[in-house]
Amino acid sequence: MKTTIFDIETGAIADNELNRFFKEPDAFDEEAIKREFATARDGSPKAIEFINKKRSDHEAKAEQAYLDFKAKAALRPETGQILAIGYISEDNDVEISHASEDLILLDFWSRFQRAEKAGQFLAGWNIADFDVPFIIRRSWKHRIKIPRYLFENNRYLTTTFLDLMKLYSCHVYGERTSLDSAGLHLLHKGKRDQAVTGATFAKFFNGTEADRALALKYLENDLLLTKEIHDTLC
């Protein structure tokens, strides 16, 4: 059956919107420190130094918590957005959609409807657990209507979608394999030694023209690797 491979790349939403989702850590409680540590109670220079160290540690942890939150923001549809969706045909023709997110999504659902009507597959790596749910939730965000029949028995994705990770894992419950590991196993090549990674895609995509070209090349390479794995499995 004719198959088109797709892959999404995401980045964090704008800071002013992103920060609404961050839960600020509790404020530093000096009195709690004094109750817990006798060293902090007598008001001596040593006690003050001890409290200041605890305050500094608290602030550092709070800052790190925000950095960790922001680093993972691209992985959740509430705090992330789709920057690009790439497609590769059976003839290895690559197309990358990277307009505004609403246009990217409208284009995706148009492709889905054409594939479904023609009895073709839209395939990708880990699309059942990441790409498709992300696309659906971002579509809802933009008030884009999606087909109601996407989930069979209200649980399983329609068979228009083919998740190659689940196929590679032989549908063993809970088993997950990275695209890199599957590529190294099946094709003796993976995703390593590239300037761009999934974690840095947004930084490059939003950088200079040369940086964006590297980001889009990374996406193209992912598509080519996924296509080779598909051809090996199918």
Please tell me whether residues 180 and 94 are part of one structural domain.
Answer: yes
Q: For residues 124 and 163, is the Cβ–Cβ distance under 8 A?
A: yes
In three-state form (DSSP H/G/I as H, E/B as E, the rest C), the secondary structure along 162-213 is EEHHHHHCCCCCCCCCCHHHHHHHHHCCCCCCCCCCCCCHHHHHCCCHHHHH
Domain boundary among 45, 74, 103: 74
CATH number of the domain residue 87 falls in: 3.30.420.10
Return d(Cα 162, Cα 170) in angstroms, integer.
13
Q: Which amino acid is at 76?
A: R
Nearest-5° Cα angle at 80, 78 to 82: 120
Please tell me whether residues 113 and 225 are part of one structural domain.
Answer: yes
pLDDT digits (tens, 9 = 90+) for 20-50: 999 989 999 999 998 988 888 888 889 889 9
Return d(Cα 170, Cα 227) in angstroms, integer.
18
pLDDT of residue 223: 97
Please tell me the total count of domains within the chain.
Answer: 2
Nearest-5° Cα angle at 21, 134 to 101: 35
Please tell me whether residues 206 and 220 are part of one structural domain.
Answer: yes
Distance, C-alpha 180 to centroid of its chain: 16
Please tell me whether residues 68 and 94 are part of one structural domain.
Answer: no
pLDDT digits (tens, 9 = 90+) for 106-136: 999 999 999 999 999 999 999 999 999 999 9
What does the block give as tokens for 27?
């404020």
Domain that holds residue 145: 3-13+82-233
Please tell me whether residues 69 and 91 are part of one structural domain.
Answer: no
Return d(Cα 34, Cα 4) in angstroms, integer.
63
Confidence of residue 154 (pLDDT cuts 50, 70, 90): low
pLDDT of residue 125: 98
Domain boundary among 28, 54, 74: 74
Return d(Cα 115, Cα 4) in angstroms, integer.
8
pLDDT of residue 153: 67
Residue 90 CB contacts under 8 Å (≥ 6 apart), including other chains: 2, 3, 4
Please tell me whether residues 189 and 144 are part of one structural domain.
Answer: yes
pLDDT of residue 194: 83
Confidence of residue 213 (pLDDT cuts 50, 70, 90): very high
In three-state form (DSSP H/G/I as H, E/B as E, the rest C), the secondary structure along 90-156 is CCCCEEEECCCHHHHHHHHHHHHHHHHHHCCEEEECCHHHHHHHHHHHHHHHCCCCCCHHHEECCCE
Confidence of residue 170 (pLDDT cuts 50, 70, 90): very high
Please tell me whether residues 99 and 63 are part of one structural domain.
Answer: no
DSSP 85: E
- pTM across the whole model: 0.90
Please tell me whether residues 51 and 140 are part of one structural domain.
Answer: no
Please tell me whether residues 43 and 114 are part of one structural domain.
Answer: no
Please tell me whether residues 103 and 43 are part of one structural domain.
Answer: no
Return d(Cα 198, Cα 191) in angstroms, integer.
10
pLDDT digits (tens, 9 = 90+) for 72-104: 999 999 999 999 999 999 999 999 999 999 999
Question: Quick one: what percent of the chain has pLDDT higher than 90?
Answer: 84
Please tell me whether residues 118 and 95 are part of one structural domain.
Answer: yes
Please tell me whether residues 95 and 146 are part of one structural domain.
Answer: yes
